[in-house]
Amino acid sequence: MSEKVEELLEFLTSRNNSQAYQALKVLEEMSAESSCLYPHMDKFLAMVSSGNSYVRTRGLALVAHNAKWDVDGKVDGIIDEHLEHITDEKPTCARQYIKLLPLLAEAKPALAPKIVSALRDANVARYPDSMRPWFKKTSATACSR
């Protein structure tokens, strides 16, 4: 299994977005079942800083999916920087991240107030007028979970 995991992790940063997305889905399923990917949390956290929004989104997803296994408090230590992705420069990345926040809050209940506050205080002025209602609605939904 270790070789398969390593291969899937390599695919996460592939230029082939279809292949990377398929790897992400498999890794998310694995994360739901066991802590086997938690040793790679530092890699997921590093992906969050990628200049490539697709890689960044995958990193955000895997951090959220593995937060329940975070016995070392890695997510707690970077939560402020992490929550900045609520208003990511790429709207698609921000949308995907906002959808993941209930999962993160469920895994880390102590962070839930900070997550809710960040959602409520998010300045969505950088996004086109047509997208702002979606952000507000999704943020409100995420806050209510």
**86 and 56 Cβ atoms separated by less than 8 Å:** no
**111 and 86 Cβ atoms separated by less than 8 Å:** no
User: CA angle, 65 as apex, 94 and 102 as ends, to 5°?
Assistant: 55
Q: What's the pLDDT tens digit per position in 30-58?
A: 999 999 999 999 999 999 999 999 999 99
**CB neighbour list of residue 140: distance below 8 Å, 6 or more residues apart:** none
DSSP E strand stretches across the chain: none
Phi, psi of 71 (to 5 degrees): -80, -15
Q: What's the pLDDT tens digit per position in 46-92?
A: 999 999 999 999 999 999 999 999 999 999 999 999 999 999 999 88
